[in-house]
Amino acid sequence: MTYEQIRSNPAVRAYIKMGNDKLGVLGYTDHSEAHCALVAERAGEILRRFGHSEEEIEIVKIAGFLHDIGNAINRSHHAEYGALLANQLLMQTDLSTQDCVEIVSCIGNHDESTGGAFDAISAALIIADKTDVRRNRVRTRELSAFDKHDRVNYAVTKAELVLLPEEKKICLQLQLDESICTMFEYFEIFLGRMLMCRKAAEMLGAQFRLTANGGKII
């Protein structure tokens, strides 16, 4: 089973669509296949740049694409639900038991409320997921209808994840429109996620840095 096969799997796509549709009704930002593919490929690139094997890269890409399927059941504890769903799907494939266990563990630990990085693969998944901050994740375009999550994402006019393995640094560089979202609101929503990224970066032997509008935050 490869990453490309997972991406085209009808059951996986159905879970992602159901989860994203439900979150849309509840007022959450985009969690569609676009988000899942971005996380998968960004996580793979993180491991690639930090010298990990092609096998590990393939594993993290599979985990990245599957990481949010638990939203189809419930947003609360979606990481744990997603791990259980992924286990059912993956045990029917030709992946080794060890690879399945790794993927399931990564999915089950990617949410900041209950999880955390425990190895390089889980670390890459967490960083890739938590740094997907962008304007086009906001579903509505009516500013008057935005909640604080919408404002934070919509305020990001530019986001770049810079990987510097030689310097042992991973840097998220943001440009924020502070007329839409104050710096306080950004921290209220994302500080926990950024601290999670800092711990994850340590698993890769690196430091995590966050800058907003040119100023160092973390």
Q: CB 183: neighbour CB atoms within 10 A?
A: 14
- CATH number assigned to the domain comprising residue 15: 1.10.3210
Q: CB 186: neighbour CB atoms within 10 A?
A: 24
Domain extent at residue 151 = 3-216
Adjacent-strand bridge partners of 169: 164, 207
Residue 158 in 3-state DSSP? strand
Q: How many domains does the chain have?
A: 1
Q: Answer positive or negative: Cα dihedral of 108, 110, 114, 119.
A: positive
**Phi, psi (rounded to 5 degrees) for 162:** -105, 120
76-128, pLDDT tens digit by residue? 999 999 999 999 999 999 999 999 999 999 999 999 989 999 999 999 999 99
Cα–Cα distance for residue pair 100/90, rounded to 1 Å: 6
| pTM of this structure | 0.94
| pLDDT for res 149 | 76
5-35, pLDDT tens digit by residue? 999 999 999 999 999 999 999 888 899 999 9
